């Protein structure tokens, strides 16, 4: 195969239908950012949006809840997210964190499937999802069990005791992607519900939750949705469950009429019942700016570009970095992978730190994985090229072999 040159890669950018979306972000000029799967870039509109809301807070004070409809934002933003995940308006609401939403939906699923006691998940699921399940098992004093198996064993582990199959669509460490429709159907055949964590897929590809028959889902606002550090998350509940789902975290904002100050809980008729407390208006303003970056964007093009960037990265790593001990841990078939490509290396942490010092930001996931994420709205093909050139340089000069790159920071 003839080698891929930078000018060939520039030509790919020249015919990229999403190229203009990059202008929706305020990115530092001296950085190649390949970590939008962990924290999305700053939308150009975010700071004005935040200032506007801060000013409204000063001017309108408590009147802002009605005048600015702050109270309606979780639902309104949920409706915007619905389009991104293949859900109907009214099935999604913005609330809390992904972890808290996993807690809410797991308990609700166990309630909807009384008589069944098992939460089935994957050994390699994202830790917080498993931690939340473990917390429930502890609190419910073994009336509920968590069963984890490796991905290929999932269908076989769907016994008649399983209440809910809880999975993350795209694996955070490998990028490996489940067949959401097939596993949801398998869960249903076994009489279980399907709960999906969309953290690493929403905003990076079209999703079809309703078409796949998904019952419940959660996802976050700060990764591909560009909602800012610690942005609020969202909850999806399929329409057919909305009237029946009974939240265990039944707070006043999920009440049918919060301002009746009724002391007896009565769930709101729709998705609002998944709310717990008062919405974080400032954080919602930033999330709104993040969602704005998807305005008019065709998610099929997003997926196509994600695949193109990932494939280019793989080819270039093969071309430039052969013999340095990188081992691909993502699926060989890019179609079975989310919007990231990951390699294992015994010195992965130090290599990533050296790379970051050289202006290419990816991240590291224990024990040994270098993770490169491709946010198709703002990553260019030339960024991928420049990243691999920098990676090659770090590897060939052993720039990573320095004690200062071995001190682990709290966030990796
Ligand atoms: C990032 C991520 C989370 C994060 O949850 P928070 O409550 O926002 O900290 C949860 N699940 C998955 C699969 C993730 O990738």
User: What CATH number is given to the structural domain containing 121?
Assistant: 3.40.640.10
User: What CATH number is given to the structural domain containing 38?
Assistant: 3.90.1150.10
Ligand 1 probe mutation, 199, 283, 363, most atoms within 8 A of CB: 199
For 274-380, where are the alpha helices, taking DSSP H only? 281-292, 299-320, 348-357
Q: Structure tokens of 44?
A: 């150009």
Judgement on whether residues 307 and 276 belong to the same structural domain of the protein: no
User: Would residue 288 count as lying in a domain?
Assistant: yes
Residue 161 has a pLDDT of 97
Residue with the smallest CA separation from ligand 1 atom 14 is 199
Judgement on whether residues 314 and 184 belong to the same structural domain of the protein: no
User: Would residue 91 count as lying in a domain?
Assistant: yes
Rg (CA), the chain: 22
Q: Distance between CA 266 and CA 276 in Å, rounded?
A: 13
Q: Classify residue 273 by its DSSP letter.
A: G
Please state the φ and ψ torsions of residue 146, each to the nearest 5 degrees. -105, 125
pLDDT band at 1 (very low <50, low <70, confident <90, very high): low
Judgement on whether residues 168 and 276 belong to the same structural domain of the protein: yes
- In the set 33, 103, 172, 222, the catalytic residue is 222
Percent of the chain with pLDDT over 70: 100
Whether 222 is catalytic is yes
Judgement on whether residues 173 and 215 belong to the same structural domain of the protein: yes
User: Would residue 320 count as lying in a domain?
Assistant: yes
Judgement on whether residues 55 and 178 belong to the same structural domain of the protein: yes
Residue 412 has a pLDDT of 86
Judgement on whether residues 52 and 36 belong to the same structural domain of the protein: no
Residue 401 has a pLDDT of 96
Residue with the smallest CA separation from ligand 1 atom 4 is 98
Residue 260 has a pLDDT of 96
Residue 141 has a pLDDT of 83
Judgement on whether residues 27 and 110 belong to the same structural domain of the protein: no
Q: Structure tokens of 37?
A: 């799967």
Ligand 1, atom nearest to 125 Cα: 13
Residue with the smallest CA separation from ligand 1 atom 2 is 199
User: Would residue 411 count as lying in a domain?
Assistant: no
Residue with the smallest CA separation from ligand 1 atom 5 is 98
Of 259, 276, 292, the one marking the end of a domain is 292
Mean pLDDT, rounded, of the chain: 97
User: Would residue 412 count as lying in a domain?
Assistant: no
Q: Which domain holds residue 242?
A: 48-292
Whether 6 is catalytic is no
Q: Do 396 and 200 touch, CB atoms closer than 8 A?
A: no
Judgement on whether residues 177 and 192 belong to the same structural domain of the protein: yes
Residue with the smallest CA separation from ligand 1 atom 15 is 199
List, chain by chain if needed, residues with CB within 6 Å of any ligand 1 atom: 97-99, 126, 128-129, 168, 172, 197, 199-200, 220, 233
pLDDT band at 2 (very low <50, low <70, confident <90, very high): confident
| pLDDT at residue 287 greater than cutoff 60 | yes
- In the set 24, 116, 371, 380, the catalytic residue is 371
User: Would residue 327 count as lying in a domain?
Assistant: yes
Count of domains forming the chain: 2
- In the set 22, 104, 113, 223, the catalytic residue is 223
In the reported structure, the alpha carbon of residue 297 is separated from the centroid of ligand 1 by a whole-number distance in angstroms of 24
Ligand 1, atom nearest to 100 Cα: 7
Residues 257-263: what's their mean pLDDT? 96
Whether 113 is catalytic is no
In the reported structure, the alpha carbon of residue 100 is separated from the centroid of ligand 1 by a whole-number distance in angstroms of 10
Ligand 1, atom nearest to 126 Cα: 13
User: Would residue 410 count as lying in a domain?
Assistant: no
Whether 116 is catalytic is no
Q: Distance between CA 362 and CA 182 in Å, rounded?
A: 32
| pLDDT at residue 293 greater than cutoff 60 | yes
Q: Do 310 and 302 touch, CB atoms closer than 8 A?
A: no
Ligand 1, atom nearest to 129 Cα: 11
Judgement on whether residues 169 and 91 belong to the same structural domain of the protein: yes
Of 259, 274, 292, the one marking the end of a domain is 292
In the reported structure, the alpha carbon of residue 172 is separated from the centroid of ligand 1 by a whole-number distance in angstroms of 9
Judgement on whether residues 257 and 307 belong to the same structural domain of the protein: no
In the reported structure, the alpha carbon of residue 125 is separated from the centroid of ligand 1 by a whole-number distance in angstroms of 11
Chain center to CA of 133: 19
User: Would residue 357 count as lying in a domain?
Assistant: yes
Whether 371 is catalytic is yes
pLDDT, one tens digit per residue, over 103-140 is 999 999 999 999 999 999 999 999 999 999 999 999 99
pLDDT, one tens digit per residue, over 364-408 is 999 999 999 999 999 999 999 999 999 999 999 999 999 999 988
Q: Structure tokens of 43?
A: 């939308």
Q: Tell me how far CA of residue 43 lies from CA of 32, 85, 222, 272, in angstroms.
A: 16, 20, 12, 28
Ligand 1 probe mutation, 35, 99, 180, 202, most atoms within 8 A of CB: 99
Judgement on whether residues 23 and 93 belong to the same structural domain of the protein: no
Of 292, 317, 336, the one marking the end of a domain is 292
In the reported structure, the alpha carbon of residue 199 is separated from the centroid of ligand 1 by a whole-number distance in angstroms of 6
Judgement on whether residues 228 and 304 belong to the same structural domain of the protein: no
Pairing of strands 234-237, 327-328: unpaired
């Amino acid at each position: 195969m003839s080698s891929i040159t930078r000018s060939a890669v520039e030509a790919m950018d020249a015919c990229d239908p999403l190229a203009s979306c990059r202008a929706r972000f305020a990115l530092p000029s001296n950085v190649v950012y390949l970590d939008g799967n962990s924290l999305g870039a700053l939308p150009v509109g975010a700071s004005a949006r935040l200032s506007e809301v801060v000013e409204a807070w000063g001017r309108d004070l408590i009147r802002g809840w009605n005048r600015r409809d702050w109270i309606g934002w979780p639902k309104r933003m949920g409706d915007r997210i619905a389009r991104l995940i293949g859900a109907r308006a009214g099935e999604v609401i913005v609330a809390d964190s992904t972890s808290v939403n996993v807690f809410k939906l797991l308990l609700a699923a166990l309630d909807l499937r009384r008589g069944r006691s098992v939460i089935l998940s994957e050994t390699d699921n994202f830790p917080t999802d498993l931690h939340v399940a473990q917390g429930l098992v502890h609190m419910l004093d073994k009336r509920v069990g968590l069963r984890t198996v490796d991905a290929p064993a999932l269908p076989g582990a769907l016994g008649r005791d399983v209440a809910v199959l809880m999975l993350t669509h795209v694996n955070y460490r490998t990028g490996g992607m489940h067949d959401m429709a097939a596993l949801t159907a398998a869960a249903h055949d076994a009489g279980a519900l399907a709960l999906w964590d969309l953290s690493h897929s929403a905003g990076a590809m079209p999703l079809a939750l309703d078409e796949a028959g998904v019952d419940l889902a959660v996802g976050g606002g700060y990764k591909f949705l560009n909602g800012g550090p610690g942005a609020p998350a969202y909850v999806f509940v399929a329409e057919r469950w909305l009237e029946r789902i009974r939240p265990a975290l039944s707070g006043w904002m999920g009440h049918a009429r919060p301002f009746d100050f009724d002391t007896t809980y009565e769930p709101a008729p729709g998705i609002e019942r998944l709310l717990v407390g008062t919405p974080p208006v400032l954080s919602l303003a930033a999330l709104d700016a993040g969602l704005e970056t998807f305005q008019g964007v065709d998610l099929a093009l997003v997926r196509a570009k994600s695949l193109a960037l990932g494939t280019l990265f793989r080819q270039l790593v093969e071309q430039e970095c052969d013999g340095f001990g990188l081992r691909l841990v993502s699926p060989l078939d890019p179609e079975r992978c989310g919007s990231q490509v990951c390699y294992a290396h015994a010195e992965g942490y130090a290599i990533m730190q050296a790379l970051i010092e050289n202006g290419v930001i990816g991240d590291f996931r224990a024990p040994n994985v270098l993770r490169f994420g491709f946010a198709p709205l703002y990553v260019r093909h030339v960024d991928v090229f420049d990243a691999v050139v920098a990676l090659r340089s770090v590897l060939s000069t052993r720039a990573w072999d320095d004690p200062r790159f071995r001190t682990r920071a709290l966030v990796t």
